[in-house]
Amino acid sequence: MRIKKEWNNISIKIGLLFSGVFIGLLLILGFVFHGVFTDMFVDYIKQDLLARTNNHSRILGEHFDQATISHVVEMEKGVRTDVLITDDNQQVLASSVPPDEDMTDHITKANIDKGRVIESDWKNHSYIITISPIKNGGYVYMYYPASILREIVLGLNVILTAGGAGILLLAFASIAIMSKRVTKPLLMMKDATNKMALGRYRQAIPVNGEDEIAQLGKSIQSLGEQLQYFEESRNDFLASVSHELRTPLTYIKGYSDILNKGNIKDLDDQREYLGIIHKEATRISFLINDLFEMSKLEAGYFTMEKEWSSLNPIVEKVASNLKPAAEKKGLNLTTELNELPEVRIDPQRMEQAIYNLVENAIKYTSQGEVSIGTYSKGADVFVKVTDTGSGIPKQDLSKIWERFYRVDQSRTRKTGGSGLGLYVAKKIIESHDGKLSVDSTENKGSTFMISLKM
């Protein structure tokens, strides 16, 4: 079982892959080099042997007598090559060594008009043999022992084998080191993902460079940080939702128990208690609606039914619905609507987005006013929601669009809300290919701007 596990190790697999490729290439190069070297060496021997044969035939052609014949024979004694001289009828006149069977078998009866190689099969014959005709009659044969060639090729094979073995050892060592270096960050990533699966999301993976492995390590680190952020956001959100639900439910349960026991006889007190129950039930309803909208966005069920429509009636409807809430806080809710061209929108969803922005402005404004304006410029139409509220700190401006994010947790407890209103609004605007931006100054107010293409 342990052996099987080791064979599944990625470093071993990479090492085997590279080793197999390297061995294949080494064998191919070895065969090619062996063949090329052997062919070149044999060709050199044949050309050199033929040149010596032609040289001897030229000398004998100038002086074809016993002295010259003896001189040629003496020249080939004590060297690797042998010479044999025949007359015009192929009768042996002289030889540097006693002719053996392979020499005599190659004495040809054919008329030879120029020097040539008559035997080059060094693997199956005793000699490489050349012949050259003598000018005034007769022939010169030269013999190069094939055993010398076979010894040289055998030595070459030994050298190639030993060199190949040495190269293989070096290659295996290099491949082992390289595969370890390649797989080390992968194994670190595996360990990191295992820890992430156990809930330890933030993991440091020490990778260098900009290659694919380094990018993968950075992506895993980034994923871990995002998972940690979402985990913390979820825990914070659950705590917030629990608090938001527990408070109104406590009121609802307490006042409903009092009313149910019949202890309150005064009608004004009963109305007051029923009003508190209604207010807290409405608060729960808003929270549930926000959660429902977020779940649809996350699950991909947020459908759009677009049609050509004007934004002004939608703004008027939102202002009418939220005016009582503004007046209850002593705020002045105003509208400044300019003539607008129709745009292709989902009226219900756009109303929800504008409603969230205006409600958010009322929620965080304690005095002054909230204004809603519309206008067009160039190829765009704009909806602007401005308040004189507490504003948003500069460091929080980029985070207010995130799910569950609240700038001030304690302030959220007082004002209510789940931290989903702006997230939902931005998603709706972006689904219309529009933009939602904010400009805010702390303690002076905020301006939220919707821009849509005509």
The two structure tokens encoding residue 421 = 């209103």
Q: What is the pLDDT of residues 289-300, one digit of tens each?
A: 767 766 776 666
8 A C-beta contact, residue 386 and residue 370: yes
Mean pLDDT computed over 240-247: 73
Question: What is the model's pLDDT at position 348?
Answer: 86
Q: How confident is the model at residue 406 (pLDDT cuts 50, 70, 90)?
A: low
**Average pLDDT of the chain, as a whole number:** 81
Kindly tell me if the per-residue pLDDT of 198 is higher than 90.
no
- The per-residue pLDDT for range 36-50, each reduced to its tens digit, is 888 888 898 899 999
In terms of pLDDT, which residue wins out, 17 or 54? 54
Average pLDDT over residues 413-426: 67
DSSP code string of 397-452:
TTTTTSTT--S-HHHHHHH---S-HHHHHHHHHHHTT-EEEEEEETTTEEEEEEEE
DSSP letter assigned to residue 78? T
Q: Angle 407-359-362 (CA atoms, 0-180°, nearest 5)?
A: 75
pLDDT at 5: 45
pLDDT tens for 117-161 read 998 888 888 899 999 998 888 899 999 998 888 888 888 888 878
Q: Indicate whether 415 pLDDT > 60.
A: no
Per-residue pLDDT at 378: 86
User: What's the pLDDT at 109?
Assistant: 74
Q: Which of 144, 159, 134 is nearest to 43 (CA)?
A: 144
| Among 179-193, 303-317, 411-425, the least confident range | 411-425
Is-contact 302 336, C-beta < 8 A?
no
Give me the residues paired with residue 343 across strands: 309
